[in-house]
Structure 1
Amino acid sequence: MADFRSDRMPSPEGEGRAKTALDSGYETYIKANASVNRRIFGAFPELRTALRGYASARLFDLFGFWVMWRLTGGFEGMQKSLGVSRAGMFRRIAQFREVFGEHPDVYEFPGVTVDPVKFAEGMAERQRNT
């Protein structure tokens, strides 16, 4: 695994962009993921070949980590909301930087927008309706 100690961000939060994001639930993301994957692979069938085995599992894991980073408010939010250990957070950040070349707080997936406020509002609405 790459060593980023000499190329540190200002804090474990990175630049702090996600720190103010609202808390959310991990279970909803997992449930939504199955239907999203079917649509993505239907639109881009070559992805299934390109993303097999370990690579696909790692990519989806890191993408999910990035989404949850944004939705829960970064380093501290993931620790509080999801109970991820400090060591686990540093390990995931290092893996993310190894694959995507940037800290998850700075990296932007082209064409992907995460709106924590709308997510929290939508989750609250769903809970009221159940």
Structure 2
Amino acid sequence: MIKPYLMFNRECEEAFKLYIEAFGGELIAMQKYSELPSSPDFPVEESDKELVLHSQLRITENGFIMGSDSKRELNDSDKMVVSVELDSEEKARKAWNILKEDGSIHMDLHETFFAKLHGSLKDKFGISWMFTVN
């Protein structure tokens, strides 16, 4: 399944409220950085705790948009990510290894507290991808 993933400069919650108003959709999730398990590998500044870590909005029966606040300032071209949810680690690693060639890794593909594998990269064409295997 492929879902658009929108990245925001500290305005994700405000944007999703507007999208709910516009589409009359159902908010499936809105998690804040304050809900992250404490980890020295991913410290959260006090000023970032109310930022949106992950949100998901159903806008049609099978159509979703997802989003979050970035902890770094994003240019407009960095605000859209193609989120790919795959059903096997093998498929994810194959696609990851192909797309990372001559690209740049934002977050290495590895196990997280919410997925078997998760990672993000920008391919050599400037397209940002987020991989998740549940």
TM-score by length of 2: 0.22
Task: Name the one with the larger helix percent.
Answer: 1
Higher RCO, 1 vs 2 (CA within 8 Å, ≥6 residues apart): 1
Task: Name the one with the larger strand percent.
Answer: 2
TM-score by length of 1: 0.23
